[in-house]
Amino acid sequence: MASKPSANVNPPQTGETDDSVMVARAARGDAAAFEYLVKRYRNEVYAMCYHITRNREEAWDLAQETFVKAHRALGSFRGDCGFKPWLLRIAANHSKDFLKRRRLDTVAFDDARGTDAPSDAQEPDRAVELRELGAAIHRALDQLPEKHRTAFILREYEGLSYQEMAEAMECNLGTVMSRLFHARRKLQELLRSAGVTREGLT
């Protein structure tokens, strides 16, 4: 995966849709345009692969392979959905296929997203609390059905809109809302059972 776009990448002008312009350029063979897309979405793609595989090294490899697959499939991208949900769908499917091929069991996350290491400003006790909370949340996530877990991750971690979630999960808005409702409710139950709570689940 490219670390940064080439110096000659020119972002779209104001009023243009970044993704549609850059995807069109990339589909015509503009390597710099595709590097721009890689830089823009590599973190989201990595996060999706990591949430599914629970393995950092495998997630990086899968993220790189996702962009390779996406580049090869640019000609089939019709723009019916946004580029981001289309790309995340490729990442999710590729990661799931990887797990099926390897027959790997998923394992708990090491820590909460964003709390891999305490910042200097955090009190030691607070950092420990955040790690424990993150571990509890991810243990609870592991107990959800795959579709409910994916809905929660796309909304709470990736920040997708309901429409983008529907496109990424290839279902209608009603199904998205139902899955997210059940995911949140079950998570609350699991966290209460574990003796912890988390703001923002409702």
What are the pLDDT digits (tens) for 106-160? 343 344 444 454 555 556 676 777 777 778 888 888 899 989 999 998 988 888 8
> How many CB atoms lie under 10 A from the CB of residue 68?
12
pTM score = 0.61
Q: What is the CATH number of domain 18-102?
A: 1.10.1740.10
Name the segment(s) of the chain with CATH classification 1.10.1740.10.
18-102
Instruction: Fill in the amino acid letter for 148.
Output: H
C-beta of residue 173 within 8 angstroms of C-beta of residue 166: yes
What are the pLDDT digits (tens) for 165-178? 988 988 998 889 88
Q: What is the CATH number of domain 124-193?
A: 1.10.10.10
Let me know how many helices (H) and strands (E) the chain has, helices first: 8, 0
Distance CA(103)–CA(62), nearest Å, equals 16
Give the contacts of 90 (CB within 8 A, at least 6 positions apart).
66, 69, 70, 73
